[in-house]
């Protein structure tokens, strides 16, 4: 009898386990998302999953290879609490030679979906600034309606501060000469206040500062604010950085390449 009872229990467990595996597969529980994702397998969310700061009309996201394959039509079509995402900034390059593997696809598909797009370079303070500028310039072709180029500056990489600041200045100078538009500097509030202020006050600032309710705490005017890194967006299966633009739609349009 004991053997028969154990057999019945084992059979019951196998049936229950099989049922849950079947449900997980059918409803695309993450470990069971097989193959190349498309519009039918991309996750949809009831909302962005985060609190959005009030009194900002223009919202956007930034992405890189960590968001994997993105369905940009779903991103552009998502609306929650009367908020639609209007722009997306994507990683293009890093250092002297690295190119983000998702950039080419994101760059093309985001524009086709109707998103305003931007590209950023992740700065390495321990690498040659001119070579880093060339890496970005040869990778990114900006068009009318795109955001200005962005330099992401987050670490000294053990470079002496004066040398680091010279490298940042050279990258900005070379990129501005090529695109004929002033680049945007991205950095977190603490790093910017300590290492970049006030030397780059003439450049627009995109600042990351989380857990602030109304605005970032920096010692100058700012253009965009990355306020959260845990947002959810239709068509993206990973968490996403959320941003707001500090201005109205008219000034935003003037910011874009060829904007008037």
Q: List the beta bridge partners of residue 90.
A: 63, 119
* DSSP letter, residue 237: S
Query: Treating both helix axes as pointing N-terminal to C-terminal, what angle do 161-179 and 129-139 enclose, rounded to 10 degrees?
Result: 30
Specify whether the CB–CB gap between 48 and 108 falls below 8 A. Answer: no
Which residues are marked as active site? 62, 154
In b/e form, how buried is each residue of 188-225, taking b as 16+ CB within 10 angstroms? bbebbbebbbeebeebbbbbbbeeeeebbebeeebbbb
Cα–Cα dist 206/121, whole Å: 13
Cα–Cα dist 117/111, whole Å: 7
Cα–Cα dist 64/91, whole Å: 5
Specify whether the CB–CB gap between 179 and 149 falls below 8 A. Answer: yes
Cα–Cα dist 227/154, whole Å: 16
Cα–Cα dist 207/187, whole Å: 5
């Amino acid at each position: 009898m004991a053997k028969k009872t154990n057999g019945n229990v084992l059979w019951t467990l196998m049936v229950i386990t099989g049922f849950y595996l079947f449900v997980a597969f059918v409803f695309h529980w993450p470990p069971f998302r097989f193959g190349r994702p498309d519009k039918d397998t991309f996750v949809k969310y009831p909302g962005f999953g985060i609190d959005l700061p009030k009194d900002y009309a223009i919202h956007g996201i930034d992405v890189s290879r960590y968001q994997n394959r993105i369905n940009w039509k779903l991103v552009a079509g998502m609306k929650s609490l009367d908020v639609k995402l209007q722009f997306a900034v994507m990683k293009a390059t890093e250092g002297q030679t690295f190119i983000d593997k998702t950039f080419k696809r994101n760059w093309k598909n985001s524009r086709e979906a109707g998103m305003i797009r931007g590209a950023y370079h992740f700065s390495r303070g321990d690498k040659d600034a001119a070579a880093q500028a060339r890496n970005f310039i040869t990778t990114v072709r900006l068009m009318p309606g795109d955001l200005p180029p962005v330099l992401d500056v987050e670490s000294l990489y053990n470079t002496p501060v004066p040398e680091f600041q010279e490298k940042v200045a050279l990258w900005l100078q070379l990129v501005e000469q090529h695109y004929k538009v002033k680049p945007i500097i991205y950095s977190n509030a603490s790093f910017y206040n300590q290492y970049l202020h006030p030397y780059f006050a003439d450049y627009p600032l995109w600042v990351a500062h989380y857990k602030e309710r109304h605005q970032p705490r920096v010692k100058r005017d700012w253009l965009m604010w990355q306020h959260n890194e845990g947002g959810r967006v239709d068509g993206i299966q990973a968490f996403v950085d959320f941003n707001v633009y500090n201005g109205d739609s008219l000034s935003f349009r003037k910011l874009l390449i060829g904007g008037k």
